[in-house]
Each structure stands twice: as structure tokens, then as C-alpha cells.
Structure 1
Amino acid sequence: MYRLTLLLLSLFSFSSFSAPKSELWPYWNASNENSTQVIDHSAWQNILDHNLVTEGENHLFRYATINDEDKQILNQYLQSLAKLDPRRLNRQEQFAYWINLYNALTVKLIIDNYPIESITKLGGLFSFGPWNEKVISINTVSLTLNDIEHRILRPIWKDRRIHYAVNCASLGCPNLSSQAFTAKNTEALLTQSEHEFINSKKGVIISSNDQLTLSSIYDWYATDFGGEKGVLNYLSHFKPEIKQINKKPSYDYNWALNENR
């Protein structure tokens, strides 16, 4: 009976997963374009340098073997970001701030709950993952990961490449960038991540019988790409052969943890 209950809960969670809409949180829609303040993300870069490894198409994180010093550095980095008011920054600094904050918080969530098989195991009993959990306070305002992605990043910047930048600690997700985002490198990193994901097997697969399998990201966030037709038109700029496929695409996603043991 216990195993049956767990199975039913698992099926309920996976079948009920849906991506939040992009809905602006007006409080965060402010900036100071005259600001010259530059945020130091070197601590996050050190974490990535010490713990992120490349295996084939995947960037894998060493959750199991991260040392205590790096854990402390990660905590201090997040504390330093929490002390800032991002609304006082210019938009370029803000963009890097929010992306790095999201990714660092996700890594901390996994480390704090390790070992786990998937980020989807976190959250409450009937939750699919931790994305609606309050994980940090900025300006005394509590934020969830969903707030950062869907109420700040997506509606303010309106850049579909955001989906390649924020990482959900899963193999199906676009890779966690090996470089910390900064105001100077964000555009290059977004373009690089977009190209790598679309040209990876977890992004787009075209089989010999012209069956097109896409990452579920293109299903969940189809509105950011102009609907299903918009998705196919967008992807065809990278893979022109998609224009010759008449079959409706299928979607797939691997929620297994992006870990290196």
C-alpha cells in the first residue's frame, strides 16, 4: 500500500507539471542606468572552476565531493548578493546578478539535500520540485526560484535565451555555464548556450525516419518562441532540415541529477 501511494504521488507530480507564465513583479522593474557599480562574481566562478566538469555534452557538478571551503564560499557569495539592492544597478549588471543568483541557489539546494536522485524530489509532499519554496530574501522581500525566473528575468528582459542560462540541476536542462555571468560576457554566453543546446541531443534529435524530438522546454515555454510553429521556425535557423519534416514533434526531458560522482 505504501509503495502504491508513492507511485501515485509520483505520477501525479509528473503529469501535473506545467511551466509558470511570465508575469511581471513590478517591484523589481526598476534600474539605475547611470550606475557604474560592478558586482564581483569571482566567488561563484571559483565554485564552478573547482566543481563543474565536462563529460560529453553535459556539464556535471560534483555535489558529492564539494569541500567545506567551497560550501562556505558559496554561502558567503549568496549572502553578499542578498545584501545588494539590484534595483540600484543598471540593466546589464542586473541581468548577470539574477542569473548567477538563480544558479547558485539551485546548486545550494542540491548540496543541502544531497544525496538525491532528482531536484524534483525536493519541495513539499505534493510539490514537483522546490521552485515555489522561499529560498532567499532580497531587500526584506522573500523570493522563490520561480519568482526570479518567471516574474523577474522573463518579463523584464524578454529574451528567450534565458531558458538556456538558468539551470535546474538536471541532465535535460541546458548546461550550467562554466563561466559566471557578468555584464560584459552575458550576450556571448547566451549565444553560446543557445547554440550548444540546440545542437545537443537533449535539445533537438532528428531520427532517420524524420521524427523530431525536442526538449520539453520548447513545449513548456512555447509562448516565448511564438508557439509551436514559432519554435520550429526558430530551430530551423540552426537546423534547416527541420523545414522538411511534416510530422508533429514529440518532447522529452531528463530530470536525473546533473552530478559527477
Structure 2
Amino acid sequence: MPPPLKNRSHAPAKAGQSRPPPRQPGRRMASRDGGERAAFFARREAATVLRRVLRGDASKRSGGSIKSLVFSPSVRNKRATFALVCQTLKYLPILKEVLASSGVFSSKWKKQEELVYVTAYDILFGQEIAVSGSVEEYIMLHKDTFRTALQKICVKRKVSNVEDLLSEKTTVKPKPRFVRVNTLKTTTGSVIEVLSKMHKVDKDDMVPDMLVLPPGTDMHKHPLVTDGKVFLQGKASCMVAAALSPKPGWKGTKQSILLHS
């Protein structure tokens, strides 16, 4: 009869060697479940922060910086929440367009739109981990519809991938440089003659004596500015005066009338 097989897991360790720990079959599954649970709660914390950020922007008030909101005591998973909020804001224009064009973003989900945005980003562009949750189930159910809508948007914009679409969405058109001529010291024609030697100069079609220069034109140390012959002034600040078209002495005359009436 052959000798019985030895149980190697209980064999004594040799001198100088440590015994390996026993295997835990469910350890990997437990770790994965823990990661999914962490993602589940991070999405909801991120949605709360995102809601405050978006509502602050909509009301023209500061809802607090993202960092200050994320690092409040109520947020547990600060690192994951911060990353989710930043990335969702980055992809937000695309997410809104995808959801709107998909035809499945009903009023029911608009009540949780911040959580939908965060979850849609995480599943469509992020780690694609989904756990039991109504919003996660909704995104997973319509994931193919959302991806089809995204592909159609890329075709419409004539871009090959989401990165190109993202750069198109985040590109900000630079504003031109506006300067206003001080007609008490010089003439508009003289200023145009000087500036046109170095820059393309156009006359504004709404504000008299305002000139339009290319974006990024640095005029701060130009002799015309230092001598007070032109002012670096935004167009919006000149619109009221141009609309009122005041006459010389109008302000003082008006005040005198009010005082003696």
C-alpha cells in the first residue's frame, strides 16, 4: 500500500523560511465588491457637490469651490469624489447633448440629473463599474443608446473620437482687444495710421472712436497709451455712453435742473 500523501499546508516550515498564509478564495471577490460599493457612494457624494457647484453658477453666486466642498467633513471618499466632480464637469457639455439626443432622458431622471451626469460619465467614459442602484441600472440599460447618440454627435461634428469632441467643446474663442481714442488729444485717423503699421486695425461698427485689434495685442506700454491718446477699454463699458449720446455739459445741466426743481 502506498504511503499516505502528506498535507503540505501543515508541513513544518524549514529553518529560515516563513510559512505562506493560507489562501482565501473569496478575497478577490470581496475586494471587487468593496471597490464597487466605494464607487457607488462616491458617485452620490460627487452628485451632491456637483449640484451645489451648478446651482451656484446658475444663481451667479459662489456655491463654494470644488475643493472646499469636497473636503468638508460630510464627504468620506474625498479623492474619488473630487476626481468624479472634475471629470464630470469636463465632460458635462457632451453628457448633456448625449442625454438630450438619446430620447430616453425623461422628467423622472431630471430630478436626479446631477447623479445621472456623474454616473453616465463614470460608466461611459470612466471605470464602467455598476452596482445595484436605480440610476446605475438606468444608465446600463440604455448604455448602447447613449453610445450610439455619442457616435452620431461625433459624425455630425466631423470628429473621429471623444477627445476631439471634448477639445472642440472646451475651446474658447479669444476676444479682440478694444481701444478707445481720446479725441481731446488726437484723432481716430492718426491712431489708425500708427497702429496699422504693426497690427490689423478695424473701426468698431457700434461705438464711435473705438478700434478693434487682434486678440492678445499688448498695448499696455505703447506710447499711445502712456501718453493718454488711447484708452484700453472694454466695449461693454462704452455701450451705455454710446447709447445715451450725451451732449457736452449734459450731466452738470441735468443735476442743476434736479436741484432747482
Judge same fold: TM > 0.5, yes or no: no
Structure showing greater Rg = 2
More helix by share: 2
Taking structure 2 as the reference length, what is the TM-score of the superposition?
0.27
* Structure with the larger RCO, 1 or 2 (CA within 8 Å, 6+ apart): 1
Report which of the two has the higher share of strand: 1
